[in-house]
Structure 1
Amino acid sequence: MLETINIKNCGPLQEVQWTPGPGFNVIIGENDTGKTLLLKALYALVRAVEEYGRGSDVRTFRQVLDTKLTWTFQLKKIGDLVRKGEGNKLRLEAVIDGQKVFFGFGQSAEKGVGEALEPDTPRQANSAYLPAKEVLSIEAIIRQSREIDKQFGFDDTYYDLVQAVNKPPRMGKIWRSFAHARKGLGDLIGGHLEQSGKEWYFVKGKAWHPVSITAEGIKKIAILDRLLGNRMLTPDSVLFIDEPEAALHPAAIIKFLDMLAMLASQGVQILMATHSYFVLKKLQILSVQKNMSVPLMSLSGTQPCASDLRDGMPDNPIVDTSVALYEEELEASLGK
């Protein structure tokens, strides 16, 4: 679990200090405030900790980090991530499962970090990143770009997800909350994913539909169901989600967040980037109903601001705009 975060001089982010909770955590902000950048930086660090020392991999932690950062951000030189300014250096410190880790580098860095602190013990769990767009219908292109052409095109959030989804389902008893969540996800979309050869299908009843003609929102939810079924997500995983509202209608968003709440109650830590008032309001309601903390990091304004949805909706341009629209509608209905 990500316990503390301190990131400095990363793109538009001058400094962000945050203490995420064990369940839902939300990052909000307008476009170009660094939401996805922060989410990807944290993902790259967590996955590096998980890949380091695993199996027969003999790479050092710094080498694992170098590869992860290069393929996650896909820049000509990694130093381009550093916030512009004379002498600035990017530094990301975090405590993960009680272990302090960090990396840092300056603007001149080409392909690797300048310094890094490795964990004492590798992390056994597998974390996942759900991007705003689904990956199944473009899997062949993603693999061609990364495995054969070795060219930038689809970053590691896409490639890692493709790798994870391709793990076959595992039979046997699963955690109770996961079983409930899977049933809820299945009820929501009315089917599940199946693979035949190299092709993916969405199976609904006895009908097999190619994923290329399956709705994007359905595929996004089906991917999460698959990750639960093949045990790539476990109670110790960190699940990163970018714009859960993308391609989902409001009723589906509500049910999807309800399913995620089940996973959070079982131990999955969720870090979510959004600019949807609808998502924020649903999470705020969940925080009250379940009496749970939902730490929130707002990147709007001059300084990042931490709060908790359990204490109410934050003062933020996203919320303000939604309230202003409601007031405008009310005035129009009253003929003002």
Structure 2
Amino acid sequence: MDSTPTCDDIILYYKKLVIVLDNDKNVYVIVIFFNESAKVTGGCYKIMRIESLSIEIFTIFGKNQFNFSNGLNIVIGENDTGKSHLLRLLYSLIESNNLVAQQKADNNSYLLQKSLPQKLIDIFKPEKLAHLIKNGQNKSHINIDFSEYNIPFNFTQKTKIQVNIDKNKVPARLIKQDSLFIPTKEMLSFYDGFMSLYLTRQLPFDEIYYHLAKTLGLLVLKDISSPEKQILKSLETLLNGKLLLPQNGNKLEISLVAEGMRKIGTLSHLIANGSLNKNTILFWDEPESNLNPKLIRKLAKVLVDLSSIGVQIFINTHSLFLIKEFEILREINTQIKYFSLGIEVENNLRVSQSEDIEGLDDLVILDENLDQSDRFMKKIN
């Protein structure tokens, strides 16, 4: 049974008493109130998804629009085409939204004006916010469109601690949306001591690593809901039935385990401790790194299964093998969308997006794969 129902799971009554009689004839009285967004203030919450993002003059981006799937979003491109920047920007915006939502204040616009630049700095690590504006131009515009509301803002070369935001478009109440970001470097082998070091020392890591370390530090749940439990079982099969974490006071030598298996262990533990569930938005930077083809195939199935139960997923990848696996698994979940990023002649970023891999304008990794095949055939002939 799910521990946290969504608003759609509850019959809503406005300022009414709901009398519940259980099988043992115990009587419970539940009082349900609405806030102005028609969200129940206790016992459930709304789930948001990222519907679209528009970017102007931000890092490598010129003027680009992204329309996302509620399922699996796959970003493809050569190095230095903005793949990681896209995922980091989305995560920064969600975390800024969450920081303000948790405060349950009435001055959301003002709080967002301060939290947005701070999150961008904490995650992108520029010396100053203005360095995130493309090519030293004057102003950057960003608008993220959630399923419940949108947050449009801009900042200039002179912006220091407060961005400009359209106050009329920010709702009176923001909704906290659970999200996770798994970076390229695995953290399972060093997260335990990382948190205190991050808070007290200068480290070459951004806030994403600190967030993940805190999340990995959560203990596993006694029980999890059925769909997540099935996915967890498939991951534990890959791990030979073991979580790669301290158990019964005995610490496994995680550093001696292959890094690819540590990444599988990370995903397994995030599901086991309830951090990754059907309501989560998951970002993963190059999930295929340090995985052999057999594990990539298994990972593709897990990611498709997660998106099938409701997880919105954003990944970037260089792996044609992984992309082919997603296409093979498309019959399980058709909510898959591809985004190809490339650089045009004048260093402008070109974005191609399609629900079908064949619908992309160009696919560099496919071109390189075909070129390699041709060179290999010439070699053996």
Does the pair score TM above 0.5?
yes
Structure 1 portions without partners, runs of 5+: 202-207
1:62–1:116 Cα contact (<8 Å) kept: no
- Where do 1:34-73 residues align within 5 Å? 34-54=82-102, 60-73=111-124
Structure 2 residue corresponding to 1:74, chosen from 125, 134, 146 = 125
Name the CA distance, whole Å, in 2 between partners of 1:85 and 1:71. 20
1:299 partner letter: L
How much has 1:143 moved relative to structure 2? 2.3
Q: Where do residues 244-323 of structure 1 align in structure 2 (5 Å cutoff)?
A: 244-287=287-330, 289-290=331-332, 292-302=334-344, 303-309=350-356, 311=358, 315-323=362-370
Identity across the alignment (%): 28
* Structure 1 position 142, deviation (Å): 3.6
Q: 1:194 to 1:220 in 2, by over 3 A?
A: same
TM-score (norm 2): 0.78
- Measured after TM superposition, the shift of residue 55 of structure 1 is 5.7
Could you tell me which amino acid in structure 1 is paired with residue 366 of structure 2? V
Equivalent positions of 1:142-161 (< 5 A) are 142-149=194-201, 151=202, 153-161=204-212
Length, aligned pairs only: 322
- In the alignment, which residue of structure 2 is the partner of 1:135? 187
1:46 counterpart letter in structure 2:
I
Aligned to 2:54: 6
Instruction: State the one-letter code of the partner of 2:58.
Output: C
User: What's the offset of the Cα at 1:113?
Assistant: 2.6
TM-score, with structure 1 as normaliser: 0.87
Task: Report how far residue 247 of structure 1 moved.
Answer: 1.1
- Tell whether 2:235 aligns with 1:185: yes
Q: Deviations over 1:221-248 (max 9, x none)?
A: 1111111111112222110010011111
Which string of whole-angstrom CA distances, capped at 9 and with x for unpartnered residues, describes residues 19-49 of structure 1?
Answer: 1101110111111111111110111101222
Q: Using CA pairs under 8 Å that are at least 6 residues apart, name the structure with larger relative contact order, 1 or 2.
A: 1
Structure 1: distance between partners of 2:255 and 2:272:
22
Alignment match, 1:106:
156
1:211 matches 2:263: no
Matched, 1:325 2:348: no
Q: In 1, Cα distance between the equivalents of 2:223 and 2:258? A: 30
Q: CA deviation at 1:307?
A: 1.6
- Where 1:132 maps in the other structure, the secondary structure is coil
- Cα deviation for residue 75 of structure 1 reads 1.5
In angstroms, what is the RMSD of aligned CA positions? Answer: 2.5
Q: 1:194 to 1:116 in 2, by over 3 A?
A: farther
Post-superposition CA distance 1:117-157 (Å, at most 9, x none): 545433343100010111133335642443123x3521111
CA deviation after TM superposition for structure 1 residue 17, in Å: 0.7
Structure 1 Cα separation of the partners of residues 99 and 309 of structure 2: 23
Q: 1:322 is aligned with what amino acid?
A: N
Contact 1:130 1:242 in 2 (8 A): yes
Q: Which has the larger radius of gyration?
A: 2
Deviations 1:29-72 (A, max 9, x none): 11111111111011110122223231688982233323322211
Unmatched segments (≥5 aa) in structure 2: 1-48, 345-349
The residue number in structure 2 matching 1:205 is none
